[in-house]
A and B are shown apart, each in its own frame.
Chain A
Amino acid sequence: GDSVTQMEGPVTLSEEAFLTINCTYTATGYPSLFWYVQYPGEGLQLLLKATKADDKGSNKGFEATYRKETTSFHLEKGSVQVSDSAVYFCALSDNTSYGKLTFGQGTILTVHP
C-alpha cells in the first residue's frame, strides 16, 4: 500500500537558519503530494501541495518540489522564524480514494531566537 516516510525529528534550529525536512513516498500511479502544518493546540492546516511531477508548491516562504525520479517531496525554507515552530506532516493522495490522505509520522520543528 501507499506510505510516506519523513525524516526523524525533532528538528531544532536557530532563527534565520535554513530548513530541510525530508519526505519520501511509495505509491502506485500518480499521487498528489502535500505538506500540512500543525501549530500547538490546533488542527492541521494545508501548507502547500503539488499535483504532478516537477511541480513546485510554495507558501509563506516554504517550498517543496515533486520529484518522481526520487519519489521525494522535501520541504525547505531559506530562513526560519520562531513562529514556524510546529509539527509538519507530509502526505499523499492517490487521487482514487475520494481525497483520502496517507500521512507521514510528522516532524517537530522548534526554532529558537
Chain B
Amino acid sequence: DARVTQTPRHKVTEMGQEVTMRCQPILGHNTVFWYRQTMMQGLELLAYFRNRAPLDDSGMPKDRFSAEMPDATLATLKIQPSEPRDSAVYFCASGLVETQYFGPGTRLLVL
C-alpha cells in the first residue's frame, strides 16, 4: 500500500534555528503539495510542484520559507530562521490527477 512519508514526525526547536522537513511522494505521482495546519488558520496551502517544477508558492512567507524538489522522490520545506508563529503541523501530499494523498505530517514546535 503506497504512502506518502514525512520526516521528522515531530520537531522541537528554538527560535532562529533552521528547520528542514522532508517528504517522499508516492512513486509515480507528479504533483506535490505542502500544507500547514493550525487551529487558528485551519489548512493552508503553502506551495505545490508539478514534475518537480514549482507552480505556486504564493502561500509561503518568502523571506523565511523555501520549498524544493531535488529529485522526484524528495520534496523539502525549509524554514530559516524559524519563529514561534511557525509552530504547526506541516503536511505533504502527492497526486497524479486530481486526488491528493496526504502524509502523516510533521508537528513543529518553535520555542
B105 partner residues in chain A, CB cutoff 8 A: 42-43
Question: Cβ of B56 and Cβ of A43 under 8 Å apart?
Answer: no
Question: Cβ of B98 and Cβ of A45 under 8 Å apart?
Answer: no
Q: How far is the CB of B77 from chain A (nearest CB, A)?
A: 15
For the residues of B in contact with A, the DSSP-based class is: strand
| A98-B48 contact given A43-B91, A105-B42, CB 8 Å threshold | yes
B45 partner residues in chain A, CB cutoff 8 A: 100-101
A95 partner residues in chain B, CB cutoff 8 A: 98
How many angstroms between the C-alpha atoms of A51 and B98 in the bound complex?
10
Q: How large is the interface on B (under 10, 10 to 19, 20 to 34, 35 or more residues)?
A: 20 to 34
Q: How far is the CB of A91 from chain B (nearest CB, A)?
A: 9
| A45-B102 contact given A89-B43, A103-B42, A106-B43, CB 8 Å threshold | yes
Q: How large is the interface on A (under 10, 10 to 19, 20 to 34, 35 or more residues)?
A: 20 to 34
The listed residue (A36, A45, A51, A106) touching B42 by CB distance below 8 A is A106
A32 contacts chain B at the CB level, 8 A cutoff: yes
Q: What 1/0 mask marks residues of chain B from 35 to 53 whose CB sits below 8 Å from any chain A CB?
A: 0000000110100101000
Which residues of B (72-104) have their CB < 8 Å from a CB of A? 91, 93, 95-104
B residues sitting closer than 8 Å to A (CB atoms) are 4, 31, 33, 42-43, 45, 48, 50, 55-56, 91, 93, 95-105
